[in-house]
A and B are shown apart, each in its own frame.
Chain A
Amino acid sequence: QSALTQPASVSGSPGQSITISCTGISSDVGDYNYVSWYQQHPGKAPKLMIYDVSQRPSGVSDRFSGSKSGNTASLTISGLQAEDEADYYCSSYTSSSTYVFGAGTKVTVL
Chain B
Amino acid sequence: EVQVVESGGGLVQPGGSLRLSCAASGFSFSTHAMYWVRQAPGKGLEYVSTISSNGGRKYYANSVKGRFTISRDNSKNTLYLQMDSLRAEDMAVYYCARVYCSYLNCYETLGYWGQGTLVTVSS
Contact = CB atoms under 8 A, between A and B. Distances in A.
Given A52-B107, A101-B46, A45 B95 contact: yes
B44 A98 contact: no
Interface in B18-69: 35, 37, 44-47, 50, 57, 59-62
Contacts of A102: 44
CB-based closest 7 A-B pairs: A51-B109, A34-B108, A45-B113, A104-B44, A99-B47, A36-B109, A93-B108
Given A51-B107, A102-B44, A104-B45, A45 B116 contact: yes
Interface string A9-47: 000000000000000000000001010101010001111
A100 interface: yes
A36 B95 CA distance: 17
Interface of B: 35, 37, 44-47, 50, 57, 59-62, 95, 100, 102, 107-116
A70 interface: no
A46 B102 contact: no
A103 B44 contact: yes
Nearest to B60: A98
Contacts, number: 74
Contacts of B115: 44-45
Contact of A48 (B45, B109, B116): B109
B45 A46 contact: yes
A72 B44 CA distance: 19
Contacts of A36: 108-110
A97 interface: yes
A100 B37 CA distance: 10
B102 to A, nearest CB: 7
A86 interface: no
A3 interface: yes
A101 B40 CA distance: 13
Contacts of A3: 44
Given A46-B45, A46-B95, A58-B102, A98 B109 contact: no
20 contacts: A36-B108, A36-B110, A45-B113, A46-B45, A46-B110, A47-B113, A51-B109, A52-B108, A55-B107, A93-B108, A97-B50, A98-B50, A98-B60, A99-B35, A99-B110, A100-B47, A101-B44, A101-B45, A102-B44, A104-B44
